[in-house]
Chain A
Amino acid sequence: MDLSVLNPAAIGAALIVAATPLLFAALGELVVEKSGVLNLGVEGMMIVGAIAGFAAAVETGSPLLGVVASAAAGATLSAVFAFFALILMANQVATGLALTMFGLGLAAMLGQPYSGMPAPEFPALSLPVLSDLPFFGRLLFSHDPLVYLSLALTAGTWLWLGRSRAGLILRAVGENHHAAHAIGYRVTAIRFAAVLFGGACAGLGGGYLALVQTPLWVEGMTAGRGWIALAIVVFASWRPWRALLGAYVFGGVTIVQLNLQALGVSIQSQYLSMTPYLATILVLVLISGERRRAAEAPACLGKPFRAEG
């Protein structure tokens, strides 16, 4: 086994890149679930975000516009979910699943002309001194701006949920929608906004995948990342920093698997691809045994709300 092919800084940097789409999608879904809505359409919103971002970047030549387009596309698709699940009060699980299937189909259709095209390059950050540091320069200071955006978003979500009044109201709505309504908060409007945010984040995650990580358009390229993001939210027990940890762990698993293949370790790649899911199930089992942790789920998660009177 030749370990010299492994460069720790490069592996670390690749891990961060692999984790970033997961982080975007998980943070978005975390906020959605904190408001009491379960949107299982993350996978669908991600892939629509991916093709929208890719197409926009190719057509305009601007990766930045691509990013904006992917967030907008994710948000648009989530608005469809919000309309059915929150306004018409369709079952959230069924609507979310339908959204995923719809998204996958729509993206495949829109993506046909873009197969095999290159995406315009996303400029990486290059800081005068920091980026040239040995090891850390490569690991931490030579990424594209979206990586830093995802980190800022983690901190922002944490601060916003825990420290701001708006975040408190969002948590209250997810905790007890009847009480929130009785005090005078507009439960449906708040949830609608949360779902849109979640959609934009999922779209952004998809966009990152197509514009930076791959960067190519391949049909079905999200390959279950939306589901992993959903699992990360539970793994993180609805806390932003733990979502970051979760995303990096699952990102790490992906990278380890690739590097093991590079080293010629002969485990069938399917087994390795299963590891995130197995890890998720294991974590869920461990968490559910703990009473305190189980109680951290928003109490109204997935319950429809109908205002009375």
Chain B
Amino acid sequence: MTALLEVEGLTKRFPGVLANDAVSFAVERGQIHALLGENGAGKSTLVKMIYGSMRPDAGAMRLEGQPYAPTDPGAARRAGVGLVFQHFSLFDALTVAENVALGLPPEEAGADLAERIRKVSAAYGLPLDPERRVGELSVGARQRVEIVRCLLQRPRLLIMDEPTSVLTPQEVGQLFRTLRQLRDEGVSILYISHKLDEIRELCEAATILRHGRVTGRCDPRSESARSLAEMMIGQELAATRPLSAAPGEVRLTVRGLSLAADRPFGTALRDISFDLRAGEILGVAGVAGNGQDEFVEALSGERRAQHEAIRLDGAPIGAFGPDRRRRLGLCVAPEERLGHAAVPDMSLTENAILTARRRARLASRGGVLRLGAAARFARAVVERFDVRTAGVEHAARSLSGGNLQKFVVGREIMQNPAVLVVAQPTWGVDAGAAAAIRQALRDMAEAGAAVLAVSQDLDELMEISTRFAVMAGGRLSAPRPMAELSVEEIGRMMGGTGGEVAHAEA
């Protein structure tokens, strides 16, 4: 019996990079096949070619033994190939049902579509309301829209490009049940993720890419996460050092911060209070959509709060905007990298200027840009955080997802802020680079900065945080030292998410 999908010598070249270099591999029927590789290894490029949204420069594919060369995604879908994109391909102004309809052939997008969406989302445990506008949904719910859109096409091959980066542990568990169910129904799955434990749990075969070339194949079930990571980056993984410095002065004080929700289905912040000291990393966990976005916006100054509610080194800053706060030493790296943290169509240099203009002196007092200095700054970020790009003059959009993430986090770190707030610092970043980002956050804290990390990745928070708090229903639990928390206790704190906070014993 032939494999479901055979890929032979696929090659794709972009200006300055060979993204895929004669890649060959095969996905068997009913197999969950992992595609591994560090950021910029060429995984997304490869699956875009399989899905017909990019054409290979050379090479051939066969689907069930037949030559397969999709000229556009519609052709791929008709052949039974579905893709969940790494960067969502959704339309904010349209409803869930309309978004789904756009990905289906016309004869399938009939009047009963809303009903079928409800059915599929119930059958696979992916709750969705077809009438809601996508712009109002949380990141996790948007992902469910993409997944349901694929499932409705009853694909033979389902490709998932980092589907779990933004899901909560419960959602991941549910997704895995869904995927196993699909596999048992005979669907093949090509699965991209940087979460190696997930891959070991889920996948039966793996193909490893490095710099656009296949460098290995293995059965992930018989490897350790560490050995997989080392196969990916081709060298030994550095272990992270524990944080040694004792906490110092209070840098950031938040007292009674409350903010009404500013968008439909947003979460209001209620009476948030905490202190953030120099030399510590406060990890904020919580299920997505419990006010984390609003919290980060209130801290960054994108939304103004009561002036006295937020103090930096004792001085109130609640009514200041992002630019002024940054000048005073509070930098923020928000969650969504394309469009929020970075302007997709601007170059890396220009994106560097946008937030580092003052702190890194990338403009003169009169407002004239110092382009040479800006390019040097951008290059320094690229070098220190190992951002894979052909050059800082390239548009942010052209970077692979993880590489852009490294850039936007690195850009803030390199401004040496007194207080750094990061949201999902290693979203979609490969194991090696994630370790580097986490280490950079620790180094900052050790050098006397105060760090606040909002993340849905509990393992990450447990690894880097010195104190830990949970956000639920717009409230923040009282932060507790990480060292005195057991996994069960964290679970209990997370569990109180029904709108009430896990008890804050402060």
A181, A186, A295, A308: the one contacting B93 at CB < 8 Å is A295
Which of A165, A186, A295 interacts with B101 by CB under 8 Å? Answer: A165
Interface check A76, CB cutoff 8 A: no
Given contacts A168-B102, A184-B77, contact A179 B89 (CB under 8 A): yes
Q: Is A183 part of the contact surface with B, judged by Cβ < 8 Å?
A: yes
Chain A contact residue count (CB 8 A cutoff)? 22
Stretch at the interface among B33-41, B52-60, B240-248, B297-305: B52-60
| Interface residue A284 (Cβ < 8 Å from any Cβ of B) | no
Known contacts being A168-B101, A179-B89, A299-B92, is A184 close to B48, with CB within 8 Å? no
Report chain A residues within 8 Å CB of B317.
none
Q: Residue among A178, A182, A185 with the most chain B CB within 10 A?
A: A182
B340 to chain A, nearest CB (A): 14
Q: Which of B76, B94, B106, B135 contacts A171 (CB 8 A)?
A: B94
Inside 8 A of B135's CB, which chain A residues have their CB? Answer: 295
Query: In the complex where A181-B53, A184-B74, A309-B54 touch, is A165 in contact with B106 (Cβ < 8 A)?
Result: yes
- Please tell me if B320 contacts chain A, counting CB pairs below 8 Å: no
Q: Mark B394-438, 1 if CB is under 8 A from A, else 0.
A: 000010000000000000000000000000000000000000000
6 contacts across the A-B interface (CB closer than 8 A): A171-B91, A175-B92, A176-B90, A176-B92, A182-B53, A295-B135
- List residues of chain B with CB within 8 A of the CB of A309: 12, 48, 53-55
Residue A172, interface by CB 8 Å: yes
Is B94 a contact of A168 with CB atoms below 8 Å? yes
- A179–B52 Cα distance when bound, in Å, is 14
> A295 CA to B89 CA in the complex, in Å?
19
A72 CA to B127 CA, complexed, in Å = 50
The 0/1 profile, CB within 8 Å of A marked 1, for residues 78-104 of chain B is 000000010011111110001001110
B458: Cβ under 8 A from any A Cβ: no
* B-chain residues with CB within 8 Å of residue A169 when the two chains form the complex: 102
Residue of B nearest to A178 (CB): B89
Kindly list chain A residues whose C-beta atoms are within 8 Å of the C-beta of B75.
184
- For residue A163, give the distance in angstroms from its CB to the closest CB of chain B: 10
Q: A165-B109, A176-B92 are in contact. Are A183 and B55 (CB under 8 A)?
A: no
Interface residues of A in 144-200 (CB under 8 A from B): 165, 168-169, 171-172, 175-176, 178-186
Q: Which 9 residue pairs spanning A and B have beta carbons closest together?
A: A184-B73, A309-B54, A179-B89, A182-B89, A184-B74, A175-B91, A184-B72, A175-B93, A176-B91
Residues of A within 8 A of B77 (CB): 184
- Inter-chain contacts of B53 with A (CB < 8 A): 181-182, 184, 309
- For A308, list chain B residues within 8 Å (CB): 54, 398
Q: Once bound together, how far apart are the Cα atoms of A26 and B79, in whole Å? A: 41
Least CB separation from B54: chain A residue: A309
| Interchain CA distance A165-B107 in the complex, whole Å | 10
Min CB distance, A300 to chain B, in Å? 10
Closest to A181 in B: B53
Query: Once bound together, how far apart are the Cα atoms of A181 and B77, in whole Å?
Result: 14
Residues from 135 to 180 in B contacting A, C-beta threshold 8 Å = 135
Q: CB within 8 A of A183: which of B12, B94, B103, B106?
A: B103
Q: Considering the complex, give the chain B residue whose CB is closest to the CB of A171.
A: B94
Chain A residues in 8 Å Cβ range of B85: 182
Per the bound structure, the CA–CA distance linking A195 and B142 in Å amounts to 32
Q: Please give the residue numbers on chain A whose beta carbons come within 8 Å of chain B beta carbons, in ascending order.
A: 165, 168-169, 171-172, 175-176, 178-186, 295-296, 298-299, 308-309
| CA gap between A181 and B73 in the complex, in Å | 9
Interface of A is mostly: helix
Known contacts A165-B109, A172-B102, A176-B91, then 7 further A-B pairs from the complex at CB < 8 Å, ordered by chain A residue: A172-B98, A179-B91, A183-B73, A183-B89, A184-B74, A295-B135, A309-B48
Across-interface contacts of A299 in B (CB, < 8 A):
92-93
A179-B109 contact, Cβ under 8 Å, with A309-B53, A309-B55 = no
In the bound assembly, the distance between CA atoms of A186 and B52 in angstroms comes to 13
CA distance A125 to B438 in the complex (A): 77
How distant is A295 from chain B, measured CB to nearest CB, in Å?
7
Contacts of A172 in B (CB 8 A): 91, 94, 98, 102
Chain B residues with CB under 8 A of A296: 93
Residues of B within 8 A of A295 (CB): 93, 135
Residues of B within 8 A of A186 (CB): 72
Complex contact B90–A179 (CB within 8 A): yes
In the complex, what's the smallest C-beta–C-beta distance from B48 to chain A, in angstroms? 7
The answer to whether B73 and A168 have CB atoms under 8 Å apart is no
Question: What is the bound-complex CA distance between A165 and B94, given in angstroms?
Answer: 13
Residue of B nearest to A166 (CB): B106
**Residues of A contacting B48 in the complex (Cβ-Cβ under 8 angstroms):** 309
Shortest distance between the CB of A173 and any CB in chain B (Å)? 9
Nearest residue, chain B, Cβ from A168: B98
By a CB distance below 8 angstroms, the chain B residues around A179 are 88-91
Alpha-carbon distance A24/B194, docked complex (angstroms): 54
Complex: chain B residue closest to A292, CB-CB: B264
**Which residues in A have their C-beta under 8 angstroms from that of B89?**
176, 178-180, 182-183
Residue from A171, A175, A186 with most neighbouring chain B CB atoms (10 Å):
A175
Chain A residues whose CB sits within 8 angstroms of the CB of B102 once the complex forms: 168-169, 172, 180, 183, 185
Give A178 to B53 CA distance when docked, in angstroms. 11
Which residues from chain B contact A183 at a C-beta distance below 8 Å? 73, 89, 102-103
A176 proximity list for chain B (CB < 8 A) = 89-92
Complex CA distance for A172 and B103, rounded to whole angstroms: 11
Q: Do A184 and B52 have beta carbons less than 8 Å apart?
A: yes
List A contacts of B88 (CB < 8 A).
Answer: 179
Closest to B133 in A: A295
Docked CA distance A169–B103 (Å) = 10
Residues of B within 8 A of A181 (CB): 53
CA–CA, A182 and B74, complex, Å? 10
A78 CA / B434 CA spacing, docked (Å)? 51
In the bound complex, CA of A165 to CA of B103 (Å): 11
CA distance A296 to B52 in the complex (A): 32
> Smallest Cβ distance from B391 to chain A, in angstroms?
17
Using CB atoms, name the residue of chain B closest to A179.
B89
- B 22-57 contacts with A by CB, 8 A: 48, 52-55
Task: Note all chain A residues with C-beta closer than 8 A to B93.
Answer: 171, 175, 295-296, 298-299
Please report the C-alpha to C-alpha distance between residue A46 and residue B85 in the assembled complex, in whole angstroms: 43
Within the complex, what minimum Cβ distance (angstroms) separates B171 from chain A? Answer: 22
Q: How far is the CA of A161 from the CA of B285 in the complex (A)?
A: 43
Q: Which residue of A lies closest to B45 (CB)?
A: A309
- Chain B neighbourhood of A165, CB < 8 A: 101, 106, 109
Using Cβ atoms and an 8 Å threshold, which residues of chain A touch B90?
176, 179
Residues of A within 8 A of B101 (CB): 165, 168
Complex Cα gap A178–B398 (Å) = 13
Please name the residue on chain A nearest to B49 by beta carbon: A309
The CA-CA distance from A181 to B91 in the complex, in Å, is: 12
